[in-house]
Amino acid sequence: MLSMCLAQGAVAQAPGDVALSLPYPQQDGDRLAVTIGVGPIGRQQIVVRTQAGDRLGTISLFGVPSGQSGGTYVIPVPPGAVRNGTLALRLTIIANGQPRPPTADEVTSIELLQTRR
Amino acid sequence: MRFIDNRLGRRPFLASAATAAGVAALRPAPARAAAKYTRYNVTSAEGQKMLGIYRAGVEAMLNKPPEHPHNWFRNAFVHLMDCPHGNWWFFNWHRGYIGLLEQTIRTVTKEPNFTLPFWDWTELPRIPGGMFDGVLDPTNATYLPFTKDLDTFTRFIKKPMNAYWDTLTPAQRKQQADRGNKTFEDVWTGMLSPSSPGDQAFAATDRARYLTRQNPALSPDVAADCTPEVVLGGLGATYFYAPDSTKKYQPVLSFNSIRTPNHNTAPGSTTWFSTLEGLPHNNIHNFIGGVGGPWTAPYGNMTNNLSPVDPVFFLHHGNMDRLWDVWSRKQRAYGMSDRPLPADERNFMTEAFRFFVGPDGKYITDAKAADYFSTDVFGYDYAKGTGEELIPKAGLLMAARAKPTQPTMADGVVRGNTATVTLRQVPAQAQLVVSVTVPRPAQGSTGDGRSFDVLLNLPPGVERVAANSPNYLAKVAFFGKHGAGHMHGKDEATFLVPLSRAKALANAVGGVAKLTISVVASQGSGPAPALTAVSVTAF
């Protein structure tokens, strides 16, 4: 059976924090991923963690021409990262070794995708 | 010995998969011809032996004159001038590139059984120790005559490369023009990236690699992108390249990055990267070269398209290629295709690769993607590594029908915040997805002012229902800057919402169901949106 696709957008909270709700109750076997669109961040990096501090992934551009937007990245989400139907993320951009919340020009989109066979 | 290794590598996988699935639906993987060669983990005894041959091969290629296509730096220029990143030829092109390097090493070392060892960075999240020995470290003094500084490098190779450029065929020049290189000076200047030191591809010897024998480890953030969970996530894709009808799910369902007009299309705002290319591949490249660590530009070789100057490149890409092989065998074991969809096949397979160098030292100017799609062309398989043992567990989640049906779509008639859709002849096995395109709320909307509930077949007089209602489908919401719609580049976005067959067909008459889909502001926090489009797709 082809994957059943479940969609959800995201709602911003504090700068860099975002909570994404699963539209359907999570079941064993669900595949979860967040897709994150990034702007022209150059050699800066976007670190994606849960608000509990677990690392999910780091976006680092390779092969992207100077000044171009970085594209969209697919970051798998472990099932245990979702609590009570919500995935709470904290996004940080590392610029010159210093972390800070990314701007809307640096992280342009984020979505939680849930697929099931 | 090699044959026994192959059997050990495959049998546990199939046995575990069958046990886990507990059904007879699994098909045995099609028999694969016994490989002539096996590529080994660099940490194994066989891998260490191969690493010694590799070191001799790199040294031999470093000693070739810069006029020779087998010169180590000339080989790196093939990557600089032709490599695809952020598109669906990424795995395919690199399979050809490293396979031909493997053959070249056999030639220059006269070691006919050499195979390229792979670096399983999940198992070992640091540069393998042997990669700091002699010429396997690009900061070694052996490199000084070539890369001590830019003047040295220019004197060494610019003239021979310019002479090579002058031999390019019109078809090769066309491909270079697609990359923005109309002259050789464009290639050279692009390599130097004068306006952005962080993107300079040339790296002087003393900063060619930022990780050292004393400090070889990937950072915790980069190591986190190499974990089994991330690898499994990438291997969980069910399509070589998912149908366009899957829309925003395409990146999750596809093993490869986005389909582009040609392999020279550079990544940009519309690019999406597959999990394996976007996370472990990119991060390992960059961190080895200094990006993401406590260092500043200019960076090392691995951060840019002259990355094959660092010999660790080929061990890194050996592992990427191994993961493609694992994914392909997983697909076949579950009766699923490991190839592009029929409609995409010709487009993918006929892409021309015109800059490779063969083991005889001659340029290969008329290769096609199809030539390097299978490992059979180079006659190798892989010793067991990370990912393979996890596949049976993942397979449970994604065991798919052998032949996906063609998606069908029914467009809705939209009026305000409501659309009516008529479904006819929904296939028995089909999954349904509602596609709802919603204008972005006014700037300044926050919290639930930017989220909406998608509802199905509301009874007359009912305007909203709770999330546990059978008429409730999903909540969708906006995020990100105003004026940059995620899906279309407009001030709107398309959301895909699942629809169960039971709900969709509950009121069907004669197999025809008329659905009413409404979108309202969540929790009554704003006006109902005027929908742009609604459709239902059956997969």
Which CATH number covers residue B93? 1.10.1280.10
Residue B464 confidence (pLDDT)? 81
Q: Do B193 and A59 touch (CB under 8 A)?
A: no
- B316 and B296 in one domain? yes
For residue B155, being part of any structural domain is answered with: no
For residue B443, being part of any structural domain is answered with: yes
Q: Do A68 and B268 touch (CB under 8 A)?
A: yes
Hey, what domains does chain A have and what are their CATH numbers?
4-116 (2.60.120)
Residue that is last in its domain, among B363, B398, B433: B398
- pLDDT of B462 > 50? The answer is yes
| B292: nearest CB among A56, A60, A76 | A60
- B393 and B493 in one domain? no
- pLDDT of B439 > 90? The answer is no
- B261 and B232 in one domain? yes
Contacts of B196 in chain A (CB under 8 A): 42, 66-67
| A7: nearest CB among B266, B281, B496 | B496
Structural domain boundaries enclosing B423: 408-538
Residue that is last in its domain, among B398, B419, B440: B398
- B442 and B379 in one domain? no
ipTM above 0.95, yes or no: no
Residue B306 confidence (pLDDT)? 97
Residue that is last in its domain, among B371, B398, B425: B398
- pLDDT of B473 > 50? The answer is yes
For residue B184, being part of any structural domain is answered with: no
For residue B254, being part of any structural domain is answered with: yes
Q: Do B292 and A96 touch (CB under 8 A)?
A: no
- Give the confidence band of B115 by pLDDT, cuts at 50, 70, 90: very high
- B420 and B292 in one domain? no
Q: Do B480 and A59 touch (CB under 8 A)?
A: no
For residue B166, being part of any structural domain is answered with: no
- B292 and B255 in one domain? yes
For residue B330, being part of any structural domain is answered with: yes
- B419 and B315 in one domain? no
- B299 and B429 in one domain? no
Kindly report the nearest CA distance between residue A33 and chain B, in angstroms.
Answer: 7
- B418 and B378 in one domain? no
> Of residues B527 and B481, which shows the higher confidence score?
B527
**Three-state secondary structure readout of chain A:** CCCEEEEECCEECCCCEEEEECCCCCCCCCEEEEEEEECCCCCCEEEEEECCCCEEEEECCCCCCCCCCCEEEEEEECHHHCECCEEEEEEEEEECCEEECCCCCCEEEEEEEEEEC
Residue B27 confidence (pLDDT)? 41
Where residue B520 sits, what CATH number does that domain have? Answer: 2.60.120
Contacts of B480 in chain A (CB under 8 A): 37, 104, 107-110
Provide the domain count of chain B: 2
> Of residues B413 and B243, which shows the higher confidence score?
B243
| Per-residue burial over B221-244, b = 16 or more CB atoms within 10 Å of its CB, e = otherwise | bbbbbbbebbbbbbbbbbbbbbbe
> Of residues B104 and B473, which shows the higher confidence score?
B104
- B466 and B391 in one domain? no
Contacts of A16 in chain B (CB under 8 A): none
Q: Do B285 and A11 touch (CB under 8 A)?
A: no
Contacts of A86 in chain B (CB under 8 A): none
- Give the confidence band of B232 by pLDDT, cuts at 50, 70, 90: confident
Mean pLDDT on B44-48: 98
Residue B48 confidence (pLDDT)? 98
- B312 and B393 in one domain? yes
Mean pLDDT on B341-362: 98
Contacts of B498 in chain A (CB under 8 A): 4-7, 23-24
For residue B253, being part of any structural domain is answered with: yes
> Of residues B26 and B374, which shows the higher confidence score?
B374
| A23: nearest CB among B294, B296, B475 | B475
- B75 and B31 in one domain? yes
Contacts 24+ apart (CB under 8 A), B59-62: B59/B134, B59/B135, B59/B142, B60/B108, B60/B109, B61/B104, B61/B108, B62/B135, B62/B142, B62/B143, B62/B146
For residue B163, being part of any structural domain is answered with: no
